[in-house]
Amino acid sequence: MSPTAVLKNIDFPDLNQVPLVDEVGVHERAARFQARSIKKSSKIEALRSVLSMIDLTTLEGQDTPGKVRQLCQKALHLHNALPDLPNVAAVCVYPTMVGVAREVLGDSPIKVASVATAFPSGMTPRQVKLEETRIAVAEGADEIDMVISRGAFLQGDHHFVFDEIAEIKTACGKAHLKVILETGELGTLDQVRRASMLAMHAGADFIKTSTGKIKPAATLPVTLVMLHAIRDYYYQVDRMVGMKPAGGISNSKLAIHYLIMLQETLGTSWMTSEWFRFGASSLANDVLMQLQKQASGVYQSADYFSRD
Amino acid sequence: MTMVGPHSRVPVAKTYKIYIDGKFPRTESGRYFPLKDVDDQVVANLCRSSRKDFRNAVVSARKAFPNWSSASAYLRGQILYRIAEMLEGRRDQFISELVLQGLSKRRARKEVEASIDRLIYFAGWSDKYQQVFSAVNPVNSSHFNFSVLEPTGVVSILAPTGSGLLGLISNIAPVIVGGNTSVILASESMPLCSVSFAEVLHASDVPAGVVNILTGFREELTEQFATHMDVNAIIFSDDDGGVAKTIESLAANNIKRVIPRNAIDWSSEKNQNPYLIRDTQETKTTWHPIGN
Amino acid sequence: MTSESSKLAFNDGWQYSPAPESTDHIVIDEQYGLFIDNEFVEPAEGQYFDTINPATEEFLASVALATDADVSRAVKAARKAKNGAWSKMKPADRGKYIYRIARILQERAREFSVIESLDGGKPIRESRDIDIPLSAAHFFYYAGWADKLDYAFPGRTSKPLGVVGQVIPWNFPLLMAAWKIAPALACGNTVVLKPAETTPLTAMKLAEVIRDAELPPGVVNFVTGAGDTGASIVNHPDVDKIAFTGSTEVGRIIQQSIAGTGKRYTLELGGKAANIIFADAAIDQAVEGIVNGIFFNQGHVCCAGSRLLVQESVADEVVSKLKDRMETLIVGDPLDKNTDIGAINSASQLQTIQSYLKIGEEEGAEMHQSSCVLPERGYWCRPTIFTGVSQSNRVVQEEIFGPVLAIQTFRTPEEGLEKANNTPYGLSGGVWTDKGSKIFQITKKVRAGVIWANTFNKFDPTSPFGGYKESGIGSEGGLHGLNAYVELVK
């Protein structure tokens, strides 16, 4: 019996049945979302949604407990001048920093997310990836952001990728699993769509575009293709899967375009942090500046917003 | 008819029939009209084609259209060249027919030779006019966009009245080399060559229905040629006043393309050009995205 | 996947606040005369008619009603310009004047967009992103041809036809004017143009542009009015060529009425295009193409993909996705930047569309409309699809010219093609498949002048556009569009 067969609701998908993608058509559709104009109360509502969906992220080789503590403090105190702000969704760190983050965030509703599985390349044996995942969860991670084995995927060894995701999912236990496709390395949108289907069928709770270490990272077109896959999967299997674009989304306007795309593709049920996240480090401050501008009517300077 | 002396052979006269769907029927109406020479002698009895003959011819032309229009340019060129070869082999017959219809021997010979050359001319265009008239269009988006010519469809032709062979061929060749199929009403006063030319076509691998040739009266058939809903274009020649108005007005029935060709000296090489082919071509533009 | 009601919810959450395009910089005169010899002049009989905003039914301006005498005056002006300044000018200079028009249009683009949407009901996003920039681009493209015509007709020399009478429709008012005027001028003709009676305002603004570009008087003249004014142009003895875009019905009348006059003509007429979706298509982009094909410009598009032919094995999936997508279409105020579908152009067009909705239902088709809320005033139609229809249904055969799609299925490529071509029209067609050889096969066999493969409703000044069969005669746009405005000599 294969290791995945014991998992519930898991079925290797027929990737030949995954619809093809026309790149130009996807770009045209994505451009239509960008032609939307969001003003006034709908803008404030959107900005607050964006804020609530952010995974505040630090994923650097130079990260220290001190840096992670500061980021967590920022998460807890986004901008004291603005009352009643929503929380960001999570703080996202490396496994060695999970304990620190857990300690600072304590019982707050802000989740601790950890990358795992030899992020960002994923080039390490599976046992190591599984062990890394278990450690991160044991340290207090609520969410695990794994990377798929792009080499194996591009080589056509879809079963390898599928099994790996399924095993990591098991190793996650109660923690939510986000599966990073690293779309910038997959080459075509057809591959993105297939990888999305593969990840969801293998048990992903979220699918995520990028590590942030490879360009291009998240784009509207690539995210649209993944949203289409989530929709197809939902119709076929009746399970909602979340979406996380990550990397390169640094301003509010672009983030709002993502929300428009989300709402017009998957509908209103997905419009919460339970089903949509932004992986970003500088987005939060831009959103805060916009919210402050909406509240005060005055354009803002970055000097007045804490940077951690 | 001339009397034949006791020692000469009794000549066998030719029966001039019409050409529909690759066959040589007599008109279904059973009617005929006599063609007389300059001395008012009956040269031949010709079929006085009816509306039904025309209808049958259009059915045949429509049936032939899909294959002929999608035949390769190379093949169409080969077939047109073959027609020229066949005509060359029967020069004398055509010369005598033209003489019978009143041309001098010299003029008749010139007309036959020019007709052969015209076929060669258009045979050569078969795989070139596309290149001259097509385009790749540099659109301002990520699309590959190109325009090519496609044949208009079934073309009805009222052949020139004064040029029994050359005028006929000058109108048929550009139509069929471009992939259209056709129904022709031959010159009323000079119809003999049209029937003999049909025999040439028949021997030249021209598929049945690509060219249908009727003889008869313009006055009787013009309306049919102009109104038929399954005819996509009409070429008419030598407007004698008023007929253009009738044809254009009736052609509006199904938005037929109307191509008047008046007072064209078909014997002049200046009047042979690929724009005659383009007259019965449509422009098709195709778009396709360029992406991964 | 089922075609049952959607599992996704689109209308119960975040709503976009109104985002109206500002109109405070727009100047529309109370009244417009006829534009003849670079001046706005009173119509001979002093009659005017109103043009209204179809989204509010409010008055916008009153416009002169041109009668025979006015048309004659305009033709005379055009003839004088043709025989005078315009013919004597160096072709390169003629081109420069056309470039000027293009540039001024670009400068005044936003103003034109707003007026186009006010007068015609189309969403500002379309007038801003498509109609107006494409119009300017058209002038820009043809301007460059003015001194290069010798290269357009190998082996021949061209000369202008003379005075050209042009009659255009209400669906793309400025764009159709650009399609008509730009090549006519580039080839050295002069113009008398009649805009549609429900959408004359951007033509009046274009008149200002032509005046400000200092074209010689009489080169472009605008006469406003309805069908009678159009007929007056068509029948005027000193007009050398007629260019018409509109219905096949009127095109037929034009062809009949100028029979025997020797006038040249080009006709861009109706359509009932098939959008053919194969099972191996990029389905989600195909759905987008279907939406763009039939709901673009409220479906007031002669080349609209108004018949959907979808391969049976993916029909349920396509229809279900289409219904989801329709829920996200925003119908309403044309000036709102988020509006996807604006107002139906006129009360009478709305009536026509509604009569077809009734016919469709009476013929037993199943009608589905999006659940959007329509404004109370103005002329509106929800995006509509009919399923369970066959070739014999009127909603399949006849041009509705509204946001109404008839959906049929097919099993094999041959069957799809047969249905696609089973129509007197032949303007456009769509093909969706990922297989290259099939694209070439199908695009070749669809008998229509514009084929969009894996895309739909794309336009470009360099790209010829024209119909087969009853969809018209001649091409507009691109190199081929020049044919319509020259006579080949030598």
- Interchain contact, B252 vs C259, CB within 8 Å: yes
Alpha helices in C27-108 (DSSP H): 68-83, 85-88, 91-107
Residue of B84, B83, B110, B86 lying closest to B98 (CA atoms): B110
Say which amino acid occupies C445: K
CA distance, residue A119 to nearest chain C CA (Å):
32
* Closest Cβ opposite residue C285 in set A25, A39, A264: A25
Q: Which of B147, B248, B288 sits opposite C439 (nearest CB)?
A: B288
- Domain definitions of chain C by residue range: 31-269+468-489, 274-460
Q: For residue A202, tell me if it sits in a domain.
A: yes
- Return the CATH architecture of domain C31-269+468-489: 3-Layer(aba) Sandwich (3.40)
Contact B285 C468 (CB under 8 A): no
CATH of the domain at A196: 3.20.20.70
Distance CA A152, CA C402 (A): 50
Q: Which of A145, A163, A205, A286 is catalytic?
A: A145
Using CA atoms, how far apart are residues B124 and B118, in angstroms rounded to an integer?
10
Q: According to the model, what pLDDT value does residue A10 have?
A: 67
Are C351 and C371 in contact by the 8 Å Cβ rule? The answer is: no
| pLDDT for res A5 | 44
Query: Does the residue B198 lie in any domain?
Result: yes
Indicate the residue type of A93: V
Whether residue B257 lies within 8 A of chain C, CB to CB, comes out as yes
* pLDDT higher than 80, residue B41: yes
A38-80 pLDDT per residue, tens: 999 999 999 999 999 999 999 999 999 999 999 999 999 998 8
The two beta strands, C34-36 and B181-185, are unpaired
A1 pLDDT more than 60: no
Residue listed under structure tokens 């599928």: A162
Q: How many domains does chain A have?
A: 1
Q: Say if A142 falls within a structural domain.
A: yes
For the question of residue A244 being annotated catalytic, the response is: yes
Contact B143, A24 (CB under 8 A): yes
The helix/strand/coil state of A113 is: strand
Residue type, C440: F
Residue A1 covered by a domain: no
Interstrand relation of A111-115 and A143-147 (parallel, antiparallel or unpaired): parallel
CA dihedral C428, C429, C435, C436 (to 10 degrees): -10
Interface with chain A: mutation pick from B287, B288, B292, highest number of A CBs within 10 Å: B292
Confirm or reject contact between B291 and chain A (CB < 8 A). yes
Token couple for A254: 């672009």
- In chain C (490 residues long), the average pLDDT of successive 10-residue segments reads 66 93 96 98 98 98 98 98 96 98 98 98 98 98 98 96 98 98 98 98 98 98 98 98 97 96 96 98 98 98 98 98 97 98 98 98 96 96 97 96 98 98 98 97 98 98 98 98 94
Residues of A in contact with B140 (CB under 8 A): none
CATH number 3.40.309.10 given to C274-460: yes
Stretch (H or E) spanning C437: helix C436-445
Give the whole-angstrom CA distance, residue B201 versus residue B195. Answer: 10
User: 3-state class of C413 per DSSP?
Assistant: helix
Contacting subunits of B (3+ beta carbon pairs below 8 A): A, C
Instruction: Single out the catalytic residue among C268, C399, C470, C476.
Output: C268
B154 to chain C, any CB pair closer than 8 A? The answer is: no
d(CA C440, CA C314): 22
Q: In this structure, what is the dihedral angle of CA atoms A131, A136, A142, A144, given to the nearest 10 degrees?
A: -60
Examine residue A160 and state whether it is found in any structural domain, yes or no: yes
- Asked, for residue B235, whether it belongs to a domain, the answer is yes
Any domain includes B21: no
Considering only CB atoms, which chain A residues are within 8 Å of C282?
A: 19-22, 25
CA distance B60 to A83: 84
Closest to B275 in 3D by CA, of C164, C158, C476: C158
pLDDT in tens, A221-230: 999 999 999 9
By the CB < 8 Å criterion, does B128 face chain C? no
Interface test with chain A among C12, C14, C335, C337, by most A beta carbons within 10 Å: C14
* B60, part of any domain: yes
The boundaries of the domain holding residue B221 are 43-289
A263 chain-C contacts, CB cut-off 8 A: 10, 13-14
Q: Are C402 and C54 in contact (CB under 8 A)?
A: no
* Mean predicted lDDT score pLDDT of chain B: 95
Residue type, B24: F
Q: Which domain holds residue A116?
A: 15-294
C17/A41 Cβ within 8 A: yes
Which chain A residues are Cβ-neighbours of B142 within 8 angstroms? 24, 27
The candidate with the shortest Cα–Cα distance to A105, out of A65, A76, A143, is A76
Q: Give the integer Cα–Cα distance in Å for C117 and C219.
A: 27
Instruction: Return the pLDDT at C2.
Output: 36
Burial grade of C440 (CB within 10 A; 0-12, 13-18, 19 or more): middle
Gap between the Cα atoms of C206 and A164, Å rounded: 65
Query: Would B55 be classed as within a structural domain?
Result: yes
- Token pair of B17 as six digits: 């029939």
Cα–Cα distance between C383 and C397 in angstroms, integer?
A: 19
Inter-chain touch C17–A24, beta carbons under 8 Å: no
What was the pLDDT predicted at A11? 86
Contacts of A106 (CB under 8 A, 6+ apart): none
Instruction: Note if C302 is an active site residue.
Output: yes
Neighbours of C236 (CB within 10 A): 19
Nearest C-alpha in C relative to A221: C285
- DSSP one-letter string for B22-66: TB-PPPTT--EEEEE-TTS-EEEEEE---HHHHHHHHHHHHHHHH
Structure tokens at A4: 């995945």
Q: Is the pLDDT score of A286 beyond 80?
A: yes
Q: What's the CA gap between C398 and C359, in Å, rounded?
A: 11
B285–C448 CB contact, under 8 Å: no
C8/A266 CB distance under 8 A: yes
Q: Mean pLDDT over residues B211-224, rounded?
A: 96
DSSP conformation class of C297: G
How many structural domains compose chain B? 1
Which residue of A235, A236, A275 to mutate against C (max C Cβ within 10 Å)? A235
